[in-house]
Amino acid sequence: MYPQYATVIFLLIAMGVLQGQSSHEMDITRWKATASRIEIIRDHWGIPHIYAPTDADAIFGMMYAQCEDDFPRVERNYLDATGQMALALGPDYIWQDLRTRLWMDSTTAIQHYNEAPNWLKNWCNAFADGINYYLHTHPETKPLWIQQFRPWMPFMFTEGSIGGDITRVPLQALQAFYDEEDRIGMADLTPDYLDEPSGSNGFAISKKITTEGRALLLINPHTSFYFRSEQHIVSEEGLNVYGAATWGQFFIYQGFNEHCGWMHTSTYADALDTYEETIVEQQGRLFYQHGKDVRPLTTKIVTIAYIENGQIKERTFTTYHTHHGPVIGKEGNKWLTFSMMNRPTDALLQDVGRMKANGYKRFKKVS
């Protein structure tokens, strides 16, 4: 079905029907062609069930339905993931954006997108198209800042996948280190991301000990009631998955298909580490101790744009990095660096592989 529509659009262009159209008008033509192939049925509880001929079409419908339910949450998650909170909400979010930009930027995300497998690019294109088509068909929806979603954005928002979580980096410690004015006379702040226990519970029960001989998976996510959307996504290419997706993501974070069920894979194991660095100054340059050697600290200039009193302003920071990761604070006379597994392409491959796993062996391989 998909190739037929692609052929029709190609023939229209060749015949000159679409010639003279702007890029945006051609986007609209493509979006409408995709939407015509998708059916979204909401059940008695309002849960969307998306049916489409291809996986990519299903993702288009998945994102469109998410935006119908709560576009503000979709946009806010990408404002956060792309380091643009301060542009939408003001200078109070400068430090949150700086934390994001210590690891992630659009240039790197675009590179990941360009190097991704073609099928994953198609999913990412469908992600952007589905949200943008929603905005086109709902002019009453006014984004805070992001007027157009891009297919590279999922590479900056893989929360719930393999790897770390930058929210473990305390913003107070970050500000105390990088804000010249506030740093003077401010007490050293010890990272507090382990002070308050958090997490979720999951219980897997073997079919051997259940009455009906069916395995059970019980999930108790410690999140607010509206923290994730609930969806059912089906395609003729074999996608058939139900569960909870974080707003703005095109994979089921917690759920099941016909063969497997999963909670999620967020974990501290081999993903996050904080290091104390001994800083040494030599001839006006900064180094850090590594074993018996000293290595030069690398620097990266990061500019954070923010809105204040209706005007866009900027603050520029010189950030420091060791081979462990960026400097995120200070404790006593030690600088603290944060090491995080940051493999967005692998994360997305895991997310998709999990949804399409056809048994425990395959599930274990992708997870």
173-227 pLDDT tens trace: 999 999 975 443 333 433 343 444 566 788 889 999 999 998 888 888 777 778 8
Helix or strand holding residue 300 (H, E):
strand 298-308
CA distance 313 to 264: 39
pLDDT at residue 8 greater than cutoff 50: no
Arithmetic mean of pLDDT, 26-31: 96
What mean pLDDT is reported for the chain? 88
Give the pLDDT confidence score for residue 278 in this predicted structure: 97
Give the pLDDT confidence score for residue 13 in this predicted structure: 44
pLDDT at residue 318 greater than cutoff 70: yes
* Sign of CA pseudo-dihedral 342, 346, 351, 354: negative
Give the pLDDT confidence score for residue 203 in this predicted structure: 87
Listed in order, strand segments (DSSP E) in 145-297 are: 201-205, 216-220, 228-235, 240-246, 254-256, 261-262, 272-277, 279-282, 285-290, 293-296
Confidence band for 14, pLDDT divided at 50, 70 and 90: very low
What are the tokens at 299? 């620097």
Percent over 90 (pLDDT), the chain:
72
Arithmetic mean of pLDDT, 4-32: 65
Give the pLDDT confidence score for residue 265 in this predicted structure: 61
What's the order of all strands across the beta sheet hosting 334-340?
Answer: 272-277, 334-340, 327-331
Confidence band for 6, pLDDT divided at 50, 70 and 90: very low
What are the tokens at 17? 């029907």
Give the pLDDT confidence score for residue 191 in this predicted structure: 39
What are the helix and strand counts (H, E) for the chain?
11, 16
DSSP class of residue 113 equals H
* Sign of CA pseudo-dihedral 157, 159, 160, 162: positive
Q: How many CA atoms lie within 13 A of 189 on its CB side?
A: 20
Model pTM score: 0.88
DSSP class of residue 326 equals B
C-beta separation of 298 from 320 below 8 A: yes
β partners of residue 335? 277, 330
C-beta separation of 345 from 115 below 8 A: yes
Percent over 70 (pLDDT), the chain:
87
Arithmetic mean of pLDDT, 116-125: 98
For the stretch 223-260, pLDDT in tens is 777 889 999 999 999 999 999 999 999 999 999 999 99
Q: Which residues are CB-neighbours of 336 under 8 A, at least 6 positions away?
A: 173, 191, 274, 275, 276, 277, 327, 328, 329, 330
**Of 248, 29, 232, 28, residue with least CA distance to 131:** 248
